[in-house]
A and B are shown apart, each in its own frame.
Chain A
Amino acid sequence: MTADRFCSGDGLSWTDLVTNVVKLSGTRSVRMAQAMATWSSAPLDLMQSYLHEAAHHAFFFSPLGDNLASLYLSSTLRSQGLASNLQVKDGNSVSRTFSDETVRLARIELMHHDVMKEVLRPLIEGIALFAEFDATCRGATEYHTKPMVSALHMFHNGPIAESPPQEEERVRPWIWLHVFMPVLREVRLADAATSRKAVVYGLPFGLDGGGYLLGYMTVCRAWEKLGERIPLFRSEADLFFGYVSDFFTRDYSLIALLLDTSIDDEREFLDRCIAHIAARLDALVNDVRLVDVEGWYSPVLRDGNDRSHSEDPAWLLVSKRSDVLGRAMEENLRRRLRSYESDPLRGRAVRELLWLLPNRRIVPVWSIEAEIRVAGPKFELTVDGAEIMSGAVQFPNVKDGVGAGSIDVYFVMDEPPTLGRICLISRGGDVIAHWVLAIDGYIERLRRDTMRRIVRRRSAGAVFDSFQQAVTGYVERNRANRLLQLPTFRAEVADVYSRFALWPLSGAAIEEHVQRMKEFGIVAALEGDQALVDHLAFLGLSRSVSKSGELYLNGDEQQDELTHRLDEVSKRLGLKLVTMRGDSIVNHI
């Protein structure tokens, strides 16, 4: 299996940081194939997985994500392991001798990549969980994140019951409130959503298991604190999701730290990463003002562009000096990577990999094997024996006959309006048919610009797979003794997040909660009471899709009693879960 082809059907959904390949789980079904191949809306039970992975994609397809991926490539390209596995055209192996400095830099680059990735992991997962459970557009702003816009494309492709308003400026808010919100409501109020959130509540409150709960509570608390100063964030949680993502992924002072190979000691680099993330979290919750947020998305207001943001680092509280430094270091890294292109041994692989970086905007999200029968101008497609569709062969020179093929779906994560969804039907190396779904007027452009890139992305993905295999030994050897595998250092990283996740607690109170929740998170804090766990999850999900973003007691005796019990537990433990203010319910997570 190549990195670019992914057969779904088992395990969990994931996104790869380097390639941005996305795998959506639970999708190897005839129902899904039918939906994807015929451009119906994708099944709603996939939406939360989709939002989670789309949030990862957006995080990785960013300056920080690009530099993490580039640093990984740089290190592995430098490595002797790769050279010893390369073969020249006549089939002979070639090994090379590298200088000590090259070996040292390769080691430092991989160490920086690994440490930064692991220090950021709770934050990355926390933001994705926030996208999955909380992000909402209520139409009060013209800004929408790519994950939300693409989810609208993916999950609402059907007729609209009512007519949109006549006034152009009211159409977009109307779409979010009257088209997307009902879809989101159906998904988040389903039992499955409550169960998914309960899973997160039961995870360890620490770095073990991926740092999900720690990261999610940190992001929720940041949202709550910022919402006190910037009420717009409270109703437009998608705006917060976009801002908090950019706050870290466009932070060139963080990128400068990542790329500073003069820090060759892992302990020192870990300390610097921890200090930086702590300072940024602190700045996020304490220093960001409404004017910063408005400055950040001012191009949206000025140009009406759905997803532009200002390049001025000041709006993300990054100094101009750090920004310039980080960008210069980024350019150095790019230049060095490009210098490998002329290498007789690595040149081709390097060219494909460097091409892949900006083209990660084409995201392979879904694929299923199919049997394809071609007879003259027509083809028929079956999956697991069920006929999915038939249609016209769109490309010349496709031979008659039956053979194994596939349906592949790609998302093009360009700025709107060229954001779209492309479906490819292919057999062997032949593309038989394809469909493009995009905003009217941009379909042709997307088809023209993207089809060639999709085909190349497939070959670049295959090159990356071979590359990965060649460097596996090198990477594993270097990762074997990372400090972050030791509990002491993992605890140091967790401490930073705990302080924000459990705000306003401090000192011994934090330690008490960390101990209580270290294995089973909030489930342990709620003494394993299933009704309370489910109700806490339900409250948060309900708030995310309520009209105003506010929650009130609803007169349902059983539910209101559970809410009161959650309030009592919160008070007793000093843990912010739910707070009652008269009839009003404040759900903190």
Chain B
Amino acid sequence: MTTTTPEPTPQEAPADRRLHPWSWLFVLLGSLRQFLVPLLVLVVFGGRRDEGYQLVAAGVAVVVLALLSVWRYFTYRFRIEGDSLVIRSGLLERSLRQVPFSRIHNVELRQTLLHRLFDVAEVKLESAGGTRPEAQMRVLQLGDALALERLIRHRAGSADDAPDAADATAPMPERGRTLLALPLAEIVRLGLVSNRGMVVVGAAFALSWQVLPENAFKRGFALVRSELSGYAEHVNGGWTSTALAATGVLLLVLALVRLFSVLLAIVRYHGFELREHGRRLTVERGLLSRVRSSVSRRRIQAWTLREGMLHRLFARRSLSIDTAGAQAGTGEGQARDAPELAPIATPDACDALLRHLLEGLAWPPQGWRPLHRHAWLRLLLGDVVFGLLLGAGLCWYFGAWGLLGLLWLPWGWLLATRHARFAGYHVDARLVAVREGWWSRHWRFAEIDKLQALQLRQSPLDRRFGMASLWLDTAGAGPMSPPLRMRWLALAAARALRYLLAREVARRPLRW
């Protein structure tokens, strides 16, 4: 069994290899995790009757799953043949899968806390398209996993890119060249900017609603209110203290959201490092479970640069990318986030990183072209409708005070004009870029080589204004990444752009 040898030499070992002997345990835990929540609910909240019967059923299920995992371990073999990985697997239905290294787009090494105790790692190989990873090895010994990753990096690299000598001679845990590393202070900022904590607080709220006695919230609120009214009594009894209590609770929730966001960011991004090995980029991150994913630079399909309002407060931006394998995730558990090259970095650092990765391209591009000159009016229409509805709704509730809802109109006007002024697009020989938003803005761009289908759209309203929008499709655009589209262009400009891009894209062969 090769896994027990300390220094595997995969290049000269065409023999069949197996996963780590403990891999069945992790497969079992993986499948148990899907049953974990229902099982917990059954045990904790389930009725007291028939308890033994349910536990016996659960126990039988666990034993069956364990046997299946062991069986799976004995039937899963892989070997390296020339420039591809050959995997034989299957319990009853045997399958033989050959994955050429040059087709592998992403390599992901994942180590949860348990994996780290056993010194093993889970390896995921993704190719373009498809909804599942090409190969998912649960689990390999860490040394083996790193060797496999390095092998793929070299073999895949030698197929299309010039391999660099430094990479080949580097010691076992190669460092490569660090492009970005996040110290703790940056990660705390990242947490403050992100809203991930919302999920935790929302879940906690929902759970406590279920678990706590019926009127706990009402009583809690009344308690806060009575405490506060102690201070506010001399002002005015009921109304003020209610408002104060509501504000206090709101502030508390906001603080909790931020706190959890920071905690989650630390768990997720601790020790974040973006490194470059020749033409491959490697991202490593995580406090408890370490994730190390690597992608070839030319496999990057599209880029997204984001700057929200909070980002601006800290003078930071975030940069993420689409890779063709990124749609994966509908099958196995939760959908993956877009890989982030720079979860948070100063605008200058983002620009420098982009210039480096896009090899000599001028970023930020000079000469953004504007939208249709009435784009602000088109944007304002939505705000006017919303403002009027808001005003009407508030009037219905509060009477004349509801007219304050119309204050949305000047705000909407500000948003629309600023947005229309900021938004724009840029096309040159290599790159198509769009920027949108004002309050929270994003830049979305892709190389022309990576474009797929184009679509010119015109809604009735667009036609009234003489506008059109151009949607550009790229591979691997996840549901979270904004579409690459140019909205509210003058019709003639949109058409000209469509014909220009059509000609350019048709001329260039698809390079993944």
* Same assembly: no
